[in-house]
């Protein structure tokens, strides 16, 4: 802060009023500026606290407060609406603790990477070879699935490959602890994980599974298809005829459940998924659609006309989305743009990231080559 001692001189304020500066007026100004800085510092500290990450507000392995109002309401709902017994809930939830790493990972998700760093995590030469081999091994099973569900086999295997490395990595986090951690200590999506925790308890009861035994991802997905509990309850199917939906060890159930998920979002067999449309967008409407993200839509004929490209007709003349994918700086950087078709949109219902959907689509294309 600069205060230069000069000979006292008048300061003219608009309107003709003259004020003579003095030591006392300088003192007042000094106090005012210091007070302003203190206020802004305190405000900044408070603001930083409100946006601090969830992991910063807990310690690892701390006990969850089951006497809190939200847990008491949660237990009451489980008893009244879902007929869980109070003593069973007490036994299951006692000593449940926070897994701080779950919170750290929630704010460090792979989808935040630029696409040129994202896709190589999954689309590797060994993964493509393994996927092709799985397609040959399960050819007859996929014949039946395509006939019944109308979903392309390559897409199913690509999702399987990305979600769990073709079943070899289903995650090592205790799902029950992860869901409780996120319900209790991840305020931004606490309501979502509360619902997932209820779905998880219901599916465990239905399938006679010990909730404490299930391992999966830090975000609560489990099995070879990495379904969230609510997705399991809504989309998982029994395709091997044993009257049991098994997404951990039954390849029939796993593949058919992925297909059923996509079918529910209007997948069209052998329909286009995406089309390359260039390295820049040529109209404001295209740019506006792109900036709206996953939900942005544009009439397909308009996309073709504005961008100067030829596009296949989408099923039901549905609208298209515009996706921008970062290119590596080693090849000049910038973006490549693609038009996303309804099949692409179906994949984003499985995982809301456009980058995820693009990696699935490009892996599936690699299987065909």
CB atoms within 10 A of CB 176: 23
Q: Which helix (H) or strand (E) holds 274?
A: strand 274-278
Structure token digits, residue 240: 């091997």
Which one is catalytic: 154, 163, 196, 362?
163
**Inter-residue contact 227 to 255 (CB < 8 Å):** no
**Inter-residue contact 230 to 263 (CB < 8 Å):** no
Specify whether 146 is catalytic: no
Structure token digits, residue 78: 């489980």
Classify residue 166 by burial, with Cβ atoms within 10 Å: 0-12, 13-18, 19+: middle
Structure token digits, residue 323: 């996706």
CA 18 distance to own-chain centroid: 62
The helix/strand/coil state of 36 is: helix
User: 152: which residues sit within 8 A by CB, 6+ positions away?
Assistant: 146, 267, 269, 270, 364
> In angstroms, rounded to a whole number, what is the distance separating the alpha carbons of residues 335 and 280?
7
Sign for the CA dihedral angle at 119, 318, 288, 107 comes to negative
Catalytic residues: 163
């Amino acid at each position: 802060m600069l205060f230069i001692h000069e000979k006292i001189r008048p300061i003219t304020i608009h309107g003709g009023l003259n004020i003579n500066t003095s030591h006392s007026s300088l003192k007042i100004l000094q106090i005012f500026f210091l007070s302003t800085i203190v206020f802004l510092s305190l405000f900044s500290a408070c603001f930083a606290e409100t946006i601090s990450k969830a992991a910063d507000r807990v310690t690892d392995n701390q006990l969850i407060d089951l006497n809190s109002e939200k847990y008491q309401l949660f237990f009451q709902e489980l008893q009244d609406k879902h007929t869980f017994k109070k003593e069973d809930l007490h036994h299951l939830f006692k000593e449940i603790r926070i897994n701080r790493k779950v919170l750290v990972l929630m704010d460090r998700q792979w989808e935040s990477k630029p696409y040129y760093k994202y896709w190589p995590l999954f689309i590797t030469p060994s993964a493509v070879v393994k996927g092709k081999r799985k397609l040959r091994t399960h050819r007859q099973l996929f014949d039946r699935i395509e006939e019944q569900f109308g979903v392309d086999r390559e897409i199913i295997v690509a999702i399987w490959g990305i979600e769990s490395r073709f079943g070899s990595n289903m995650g090592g986090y205790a799902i029950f602890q992860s869901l409780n951690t996120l319900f209790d200590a991840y305020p931004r999506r606490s309501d979502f994980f509360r619902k997932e925790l209820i779905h998880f308890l219901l599916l465990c009861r239905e399938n006679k599974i010990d909730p404490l035994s299930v391992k999966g991802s830090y975000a609560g997905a489990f099995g070879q298809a990495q379904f969230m509990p609510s997705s399991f309850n809504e989309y998982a199917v029994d395709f091997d005829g044993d009257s049991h939906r098994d997404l951990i060890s039954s390849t029939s159930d796993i593949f058919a459940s992925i297909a059923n998920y996509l079918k529910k979002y209007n997948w069209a067999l052998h329909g286009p998924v995406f089309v390359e449309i260039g390295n820049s967008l040529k109209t404001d409407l295209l740019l506006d659609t792109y900036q709206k993200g996953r939900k942005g839509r544009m009439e397909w004929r308009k996309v073709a006309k504005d961008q100067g490209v030829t596009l296949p007709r989408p099923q039901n003349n549905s609208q298209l989305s515009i996706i921008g994918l970062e290119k590596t700086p080693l090849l000049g950087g910038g973006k490549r743009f693609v038009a996303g078709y309804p099949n692409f949109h179906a994949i984003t219902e499985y995982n809301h990231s456009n980058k995820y959907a693009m990696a699935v689509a490009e892996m599936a294309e690699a299987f065909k080559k």
